Structures are given as C-alpha cells and as structure tokens.
C-alpha cells in the first residue's frame, strides 16, 4: 500500500480534526484544505495549502464549487499501478492525493428543525463532499478515505507504527464505512424531500405519519449467537444509545435474541408508570407487574402474581435498582434485568450471579415508526402511545366505579396494552393479579386468566384490550370475582354487554381506544 504523503481535509464537523491534522503533519504529510477547515488548521499553527492553489481556480458560487475539479478528482482516482493513469497525471502535472478526510453538511440536523425552509434544506445538500468520498472509496487500494472522527486516533497510531502506511484491511474498512456514510446521507435527503411538494404557488410540506419512502439504514451493532432458535442466524442493528437496542450491558452472559425481545417488552411496559414499578416478562407477556410506593414492594407484588412463570423471566424496573430490591431479586433465577441504573450494593449482590445479564437503559419509549417485516415487504405504523384519557372515557353502566376501582382500572388498562391479543388482565390497585394472553377467543382469555391465578380475584377489576363481542366475557369475569371492567367498547352487541353488566351490578368503563398487540 502507498505511504500517505498528501492529505485533503474538508469537514463540516471539526471535532478532533486539529490534533489529527497535527499528527499527520508530524509524519511529514502535506495538508490541503478548503474554506473554514483551512482557516481552523492555520489558526492552529499548521501549514495548509488551499484547494484553489491546487486547482488554479478560485472557490465560487458561495462555496458550491470548491473541490469539483479534475486536479482534485484525478489526484484521488488515479490508480498507482496503472502506468497510463500515472502518465496522464504527469502530463497534466497533477499530484496524487493519498488520503481524503471529509464529513458532510449537516443535512439531517437542518431537516430536523421545525419549519426549516426548503431553500435551507437544499443549500445543506453536500455535493463536493460525497463526490470526494465516493471517489476515494472507489480507489480504496491507493487512497484512504476518512469520514468519522472515531477513526482519527487509530489511523494516526497505525501510520506512526508503519512508516506512514495503512494496511489494505484498513483501507477496505474505511471504504466500506465511507459508502455507508453516503448511503445514509442520500437516504436522509430522499426521505425528507419525499414529503415536500412543489406547485405553481410554491413549496408545501406534507406532514405524513408514515413516510413515502421507508429507509432502514442502521449498522450492525452486534452479531448474536443465534435467533429465536439455534438454527437461525441473528444480529442486533442500532444507530443510537436510547432504548433496549442502545442498552449498556454491565454483567452476565451475552444477550440473546430472545433476551432482547423480552427486555424490550419489559421496558415498554415499565415506561407506562410514574411511581416505582417492576415488571416480569415471559415470552413478551407480563406474568407480573406492580406499581407501589417503593421499588422492593413493587417487585414483591409483581413476583407474587405468578411465581412459577417468574422463574427464568426478564425483569425491568423504572428506578435505580437498590440493595433491598436486589436482595429479593437474587432469590430467583432471572435471565436478564433492565433498569436506569444500579446502586453499588445492588451491583455487588447481583453480579454474584455469574450468568445474570444486567443492562442499563436510557430514555423512555421513542416516538418513532414501529416496523415489522412480512414476506416480501415491511409493515410500518406509529407507536401505540395512547394512554387513559378521562376526557374520552365514559362510564356506561348504572353503577359508577368506586375510587379504589378507578385506580385499579387505570392500572389494569396500562398493563393490558402490553399483553398479546386477545388480552384480558385481572388487576387490583397497583398490581397485576393474572392475565389471559394470546388466545383466539376473548372468553377463553377470561377463563385462562382466572384459572392460572394464584391470588384471589375477589374484588378485582378486568381490563380487555378490545371490545367484548358478547356478554359471556363479562359474565365469566364477574363469576371469577371481578367487580368492574374497562374496555374500548364499539361492538354491535355493546347494548347487550352493558345490560349484562347492569344486571350483574358491576361498573363498566368504555375508553374508545383499542390496544391490539400482535
């Protein structure tokens, strides 16, 4: 591989650039730069040649034309091993460029601004940057292309250790990253401009919940041992640090595909609560959930609802895990735990379990599209962020819920949203008692939820993710001890269901909101 002797630097994000450039200069590299980048380097005490000196042509059109020139492009694209290429450079007195350090105009940052005018969006579409990046990446065997500040230190270290030469592997890895950079950039432009219409009267921004172009462009963060089953390959892809995909693992075995799916279900559920809460998830369904005055009490209440299913489950907490709660958790075999943080004493207790996976999670539930693959394509929908709304909920029975029933109904409604359909939740204030999940018949969910309950259902409330199509569901719930029901309503048989509730003497609330979860 050729030694790096001549470097072109032109960046928007100048983080870490000056130390990198000083390191290159110390290795004897000639530095070529443009505009603000050149000024920053000179202000930092470095000798820099302007691109205009190389091209013999001034920057023009408010900086739109700087590096788009044969003397730059040829210096990047010429293949050193092709005599005709090198002869052409010699004929036109063009020197080779061995490294291109470029990052792009911050289009995504501008696009994220509320009300950013189209003119500003257009001006932040980089032309010269992607051109140089792609040219250098195409000629990766001769030119190193650097698009991320994360690579500055490793590159300097390798150059220093190898007499100014980068390995072929490094060149290739940098080129792959470069193509991913321009692909992501183009995808961001495509997605944003897809929502803008132009007509005779000017520009209009069409706000759409679902984009006209779905771009899923995120790097592979981690290869997983396998998928849902050992014969399936799997990996985690993520671009940020929020949520389960961006969680930080503190201890334990490698996270599996199923761990991550269950942790995500647990985290989404736990984010529903403002008071200390704990949730135990098994196969994406909550087998225990509680919201109490203290975290340890929430955990105890969550555990006692279904101690059999709790074994080998995944836990989530919405508070920093403390010593007392950790002592309780340590009595049970758990696969993984997600929490915002852990006290030092809690970590000491839990890390005594060698295989227990402990992760910290930042942020709540993101307001972003939920994407699911199907054969031949993708489905996308806005996230289910609907909560109980007193303004739209209405009591449809003769009897009003008691104050205690109201507390239980609102709690059960939060949990029911995270149980697979058909979903039935038996609850009391701040505690899930039992649930019937994923049944083909709602009345079966009512029966199964009661049958597997280890706690008394006398005086409980029932939450249903969708309407009851017949009176048999509420009748079964009441027979099992329920005194109040919360459901969306909307069945053609609502009248019959309400009449049954009145006959049974229970309270019933219609929310007007359905929470199917498939």
Nearest to 509, CA basis, from 405, 430, 426? 405
Main-chain phi, psi angles of 174, to 5 degrees: -65, -40
Q: What is the crossing angle of helices 70-77 and 128-138, to 10°?
A: 30
Residues sharing a CB contact under 8 Å with residue 199, sequence separation 6 or more, in sequence order: none
Measured CA to CA, the distance from residue 290 to residue 270 in angstroms comes to 9
Nearest to 432 by CA among 311, 277, 271: 277
Strands 277-282 and 313-317: antiparallel
Q: Which of 5, 138, 217, 452 is catalytic?
A: 138
Q: Taken in order 368, 372, 373, 374, is the CA torsion positive or negative? A: negative
**399-405 contact pairs (CB < 8 A, 24+):** 399/502, 399/505, 399/506, 399/507, 400/507, 401/484, 401/507, 401/509, 402/484, 402/507, 404/429, 405/461, 405/483, 405/484, 405/507
Is 138 one of the annotated active-site residues of the chain? yes
Find the catalytic residue in 217, 283, 345, 493: 283
Residues in the chain: 518
449, 441 contact by CB (below 8 A): no
327's CB contacts (< 8 A; 6+ apart) are 349
DSSP sequence for 473-489 = HHHHHHHTTEEEEEE--
3-class DSSP state for residue 196? strand
Query: Cα(first)–Cα(last) distance of the chain, in Å?
Result: 54
Query: Is residue 452 annotated as a catalytic residue, yes or no?
Result: no
Task: Give catalytic residues, as residue numbers.
Answer: 138, 283
């Amino acid at each position: 591989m050729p030694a790096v002797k001549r470097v072109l630097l032109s960046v928007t994000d100048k983080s870490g650039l000056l130390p990198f450039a000083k390191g290159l200069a110390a290795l004897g590299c000639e530095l070529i730069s443009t505009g603000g980048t050149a000024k920053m380097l000179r202000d930092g005490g470095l000798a820099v040649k302007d691109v205009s000196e190389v091209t013999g042509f001034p920057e023009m059109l408010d900086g739109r034309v700087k590096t788009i020139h044969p003397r730059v492009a040829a210096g990047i694209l010429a293949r050193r091993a092709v005599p005709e290429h090198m002869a052409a450079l010699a004929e036109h007195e063009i020197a080779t460029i061995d490294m291109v350090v470029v990052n792009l105009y911050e289009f995504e940052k501008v696009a994220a601004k509320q009300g950013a005018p189209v003119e500003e969006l257009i001006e932040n579409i980089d032309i010269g940057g992607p051109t140089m990046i792609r040219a250098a990446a195409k000629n990766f065997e001769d030119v190193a292309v650097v698009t991320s500040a994360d690579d500055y230190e490793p590159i300097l270290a390798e150059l220093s250790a190898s007499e100014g030469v980068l390995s072929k592997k490094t060149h290739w890895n940098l080129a792959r990253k470069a193509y991913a950079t321009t692909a992501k950039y183009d995808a961001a432009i495509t997605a944003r401009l897809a929502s803008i219409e132009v007509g005779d009267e000017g520009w209009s921004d069409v706000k759409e919940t679902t984009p006209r172009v779905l771009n899923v462009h995120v790097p592979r963060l981690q290869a997983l041992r396998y998928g849902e089953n050992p014969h399936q390959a799997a990996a985690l892809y993520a671009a940020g640090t929020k949520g389960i995909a961006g969680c930080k693992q503190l201890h334990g075995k490698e996270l599996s595909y199923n761990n991550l799916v269950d942790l995500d279900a647990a985290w989404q559920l736990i984010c529903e609560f403002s008071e200390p809460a704990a949730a135990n998830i098994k196969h994406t369904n909550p087998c225990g959930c509680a919201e109490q005055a203290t975290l340890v009490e929430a955990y105890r209440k969550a555990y006692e609802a279904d101690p059999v299913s709790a074994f080998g489950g995944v836990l989530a907490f919405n508070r920093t895990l403390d010593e007392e709660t950790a002592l309780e958790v340590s009595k049970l075999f758990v696969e993984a735990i997600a929490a915002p943080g852990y006290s030092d004493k809690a970590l000491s207790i839990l890390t005594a379990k060698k295989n227990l996976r402990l992760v910290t999670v930042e942020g709540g539930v993101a307001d972003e599209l939920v994407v699911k693959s199907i054969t031949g394509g993708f489905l996308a929908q806005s996230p289910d962020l609907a909560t109980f709304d007193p303004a739209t909920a209405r009591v449809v029975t003769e009897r009003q819920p008691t104050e205690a029933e109201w507390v239980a109904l609102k709690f059960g409604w939060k949990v029911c949203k995270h149980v697979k359909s058909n979903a039935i939740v038996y609850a009391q204030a701040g505690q899930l008692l039992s649930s019937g999940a994923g049944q083909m018949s709602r009345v079966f969910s009512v029966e199964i939820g009661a049958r597997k309950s280890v706690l008394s259902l006398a005086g409980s409330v029932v939450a249903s993710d969708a309407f009851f199509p017949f009176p048999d569901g509420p009748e079964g719930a009441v027979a099992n001890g329920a005194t109040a029901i919360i459901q969306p309503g909307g069945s053609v048989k609502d009248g019959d269901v309400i009449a049954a509730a009145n006959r049974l003497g229970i309270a019933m609330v219609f929310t007007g909101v359905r929470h199917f979860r498939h």
